[in-house]
Amino acid sequence: MKIKSKKMIGILGLIIGILWLFPFYMIVANSFKTPKGIFASVLALPAPATGENYANSFKALNFIGSLTNSLIITICSVLLIILCSSMAAYALQRNKSKLSSGLLLLFISAMLIPFQSVMIPMTANFGSAHMLNMYGLMFMYLGFNCSLSIFLYQGTLSSIPIAMDEAAEMEGASRWQIYYKIILPMLSPMTVTVAILNIIAIWNDYLLPSLVLPQIQYTIPLQMFNFFGEYTKQWHLALAGITLSIIPVIIFYLFAQKWIIKGVTDGAVK
């Protein structure tokens, strides 16, 4: 009975795994097909496979340019979020006062504000400050995403004993040195979690950049929209473009995998 139920769980897991991977298969498989091949059968393997879609998509997307824009915006925004939210969480967690508790509550409640409700007035404000560009976008991401990051960091910080700060203080470290040399490295697992959450959100974001960025600073998701006209949809090129745009995220994930798992399970057991 026990073996049977184990087998059942295994089979169920396999089915869920296949369902999970299926969209990914669809994207990659169809990215190697001609438009005719896609409409003939979406599910079939590409026969014959063509790499031409990638070359055309690469050109149409202005891939190097848009990849650079995506990378600059994502990396800078995430670094800014990590730096600001970890510092803010450190200050809020270590300075126990009614003010800091109130501020933390404010940050947490800010997570409940829907982005759509503020996007128009905010874009107007940034526009009047001549900040409708990638730098303005970075600050917007900082504002929108640091609430969750502060909340996550604050939880981890509460498990770091205050004796760490005091030991470093006794040894002559300044407040900044304590944060930078002791606390920030100890937050690494959570930093990776914060980074991956924000990288995925920012890398894939379409709506906010579409409101803020001038065409010259378009990111990959914005460029991708060129494949979808009013009358024609170039699925073969779009899917090749999507595959190309996924590659950097997968590379990051593979590098950070060890930390992500640790970040997710950290504190679960003693």
Partner 1 sequence: MVELNLEHVYKKYKGNKDYSVSDFDLHVDDGEFIVFVGPSGCGKSTTLRMIAGLEDISKGDYKMGDRVMNNVAPKDRDIAMVFQNYALYPHMTVFDNMAFGLNIRKNDKEDTKKRVEEAARILGLTDYLQRKPAALSGGQRQRVALGRAIVRDAELFLLDEPLSNLDAKLRVQMRTEIAQLHQRLGRNFIYVTHDQIEAMTMADRIVIMNKGRIQQVGTPAELYNMPVNKFVAGFIGSPSTNFFDVRLENGYITNDDGLRVAVAEGQLKTLVEKGYDGRNLTFGIRPEDIHAEEIALQTYPDAIIEAEVEVSELLGANSMLYSKLGKTDFIAEVNSRDYHEPGDRLKMALEMTKAHYFDKDTEETII
- Interacting residue ranges for partner 1, rule: CB under 8 A: 161, 163-164, 166-173, 177, 181-182, 185-186, 188
| Residue 218 neighbours by CB under 8 Å, 6+ apart | 62, 66, 69, 209
Nearer to partner 1, 81 or 183 (CB): 183
For the bound state, the minimum distance from the C-beta of residue 168 to partner 1, rounded and expressed in Å, comes to 7
Beta-bridge partner residues of 228: 233
CB of 75 to partner 1, least distance (A): 23
What minimum distance in Å lies between the beta carbon of 195 and partner 1? 17
Q: Are the C-beta atoms of 146 and 88 separated by less than 8 Å? A: yes
With beta carbons less than 8 A apart as the criterion, state whether 84 and 107 touch: no
Residue 48: φ, ψ to 5°: -85, 155
Provide, rounded to whole angstroms, the least separation between the CB of residue 170 and partner 1: 5
Instruction: State the angle between helix axes of 235-265 and 52-60 in degrees (0 to 180), rounded to the nearest 10.
Output: 80
| Cα 243 from Cα 100, distance rounded (Å) | 45
Pick 3 or 170: Cβ nearer partner 1: 170
> Which residue lies nearer to partner 1 by CB, 83 or 186?
186
Closer of 174 and 210 to partner 1 (Cβ):
174
- Tracing tokens 């950290």 back to the chain, one arrives at 266
* Residue among 95 and 210 whose Cβ is closer to partner 1: 95
Least Å distance, CB 256 to partner 1, is: 17
To the nearest whole angstrom, how small is the minimum distance from the Cβ of residue 174 to partner 1? 8
Asked whether 181 and 248 are in contact (CB, 8 A), the reply is no
User: Residue with structure tokens 């995220």?
Assistant: 249
Residue among 165, 166, 168 nearest 90 (CA): 165
Name the residue nearer to partner 1 (CB basis): 183 or 239.
183
Give the span between the Cα atoms of 213 and 127, in whole angstroms.
Answer: 11
264 to 89, 116, 187, 196: CA distances (angstroms): 19, 29, 13, 11
As measured in angstroms, the least distance from the Cβ of 169 to partner 1 is 5
